[in-house]
Amino acid sequence: MASILAYDLGASSGRALLGRLTDNRIETEELHRFGNDPVQVADRLHWDILRLYHELKQGLLKAKHQGVEVSSLAIDSWAVDFGFLGASGELLGNPYHYRDRHTDGIMEKLFADIPAADIFARTGIQFLSFNSIFQLYALKQANSPLLREAKRFLMIPDLLRYFMTGEQVNEFTNATTTQLYNPKLGGWDGELLGKLGLSESLFGPVAQPGQAVGSLRPSLTEELGVRSIPVYAVAEHDTGSAVVAVPALDRSFAYLSCGTWSLMGTEVEQPVISERARELNFTNEGGAYGTFRLLKNIMGLWILNECRREWERAGQSYSFPELVQMSNRADPLAAFIEPDDDLFLHPGDMPGQIRKYCERTGQRAPEGPGAIVRCILESLALKYRYVLELTEELSGKRFGGLHMVGGGIQNKLLCQWSANAIGKPVWAGPAEGSAIGNLAVQWIASGELADIWEARKVIRDSFPVDVYEPADTEMWQEAYGRFLTVTSLRA
């Protein structure tokens, strides 16, 4: 039976997932799962990119050892981060992690040279301090030898795909997240690059999801003892792949890709590049098959992950299910945080940062892991309502509920509290949204599925969707008002 392989790399772990399509039903098998821990070297935080490439090889080897014949593969990952190739085609240094501090204060410096309104009008991308444009400007300001010697800019999936195929190609959905791609021009913005002092030659041709971008290079097939197979560009930003996998019945839908980051939005045919969208710091990232993702980033379960890491450092080890159970026993709706406050961006003492935020906003800080976790999850649910209402405003649509996909949906309390907060149903599933969307684009590319809507129907028929109906709506409505006041957000 023919199988295809999806590599799905998240900010904390990666996986290799096999997919088979039989009688319009998808079967998946996790071949390989591995950690993805950043590496601190002195003051710099890096991705261990060669270790990640090694883990991709292990996925191919495990398929081989199981006697599985893989007919194609593709890679998706997080956005904004990148590596450089030199004149010889070799990697120049380990890519920086987007949470590295070398971009601190850089956004304001760049705006002194290029107004924010001009950048947004050209790209439609929200302003986040770690966007590729700010990382590149930081390297330029530091007179980095990496930038001086660089001949080609490749984002994380581009780079890993290059290691596998030798082809230097940028992929559309990830390229748009750089804040250097102009959707009106349909390519890299040469004028913007010129203002930044960057050569257009640094940026390669842009492939669309579903485009064949080479095959395994001979040195790799010889090393692993496998045959050469096609490699596709999919929606290589993992959120783009997750949106492909949303099992929506209605062509107008709202989604939340829930994991380390929470990304909420809707699918639109044209980017919404307006002053109101810039004011609300929404983004228009590229999607699959001629679409754009009108969405907003929310800090997500990173905050919980960092709390757990801090407790482990202090000798208190809790599993995620234990923390969720403890949170369910804590007092409800007692304290709130704004998940996207700068206090929560960088690694460190996250419980301490939550206490600091509560003290700063005149609240009693939660005490103990259960209360802290409850504060995080309830604050996320309330922020989801805030962003969902803004998404409706910008898109001109009204949504009957919210589709949640990604690993975060395994947290059933978060799903239920999200339904309570928005006052509408939450449809949760599938959990492996990014990997399944990756598989779906490969099947569309090979002709096994006709288009994205047939793929969504097959996904809906293949994976369970849990429905969460809203409860305690009056209590949550009152809490939403307090949340807006405490966080200084506006309804």
Beta strand ranges found along 217-337 (DSSP E)? 230-232, 254-258, 262-268, 283-286, 292-298
* Greatest C-alpha distance within the chain: 64
- What single DSSP character describes residue 290? S
Name the residues annotated as catalytic: 238
Which residues, at least 6 apart from 145, have a Cβ–Cβ distance to it below 8 Å?
A: none
The structure tokens 């559309």 sit at 172
Confirm if 18 and 29 have CB atoms less than 8 A apart.
Answer: yes
- What single DSSP character describes residue 96? B
Q: What is the C-alpha to C-alpha distance for residues 424 and 301, in angstroms, rounded to an integer? A: 22
Strands of the sheet containing 283-286, edge to edge, are 283-286, 292-298, 262-268, 254-258, 402-405, 426-428, 466-468
The structure tokens 């090393």 sit at 223
Q: Give whole-number Cα distances, 256 to 227, 290, 321, 408, in Å.
A: 38, 20, 21, 10
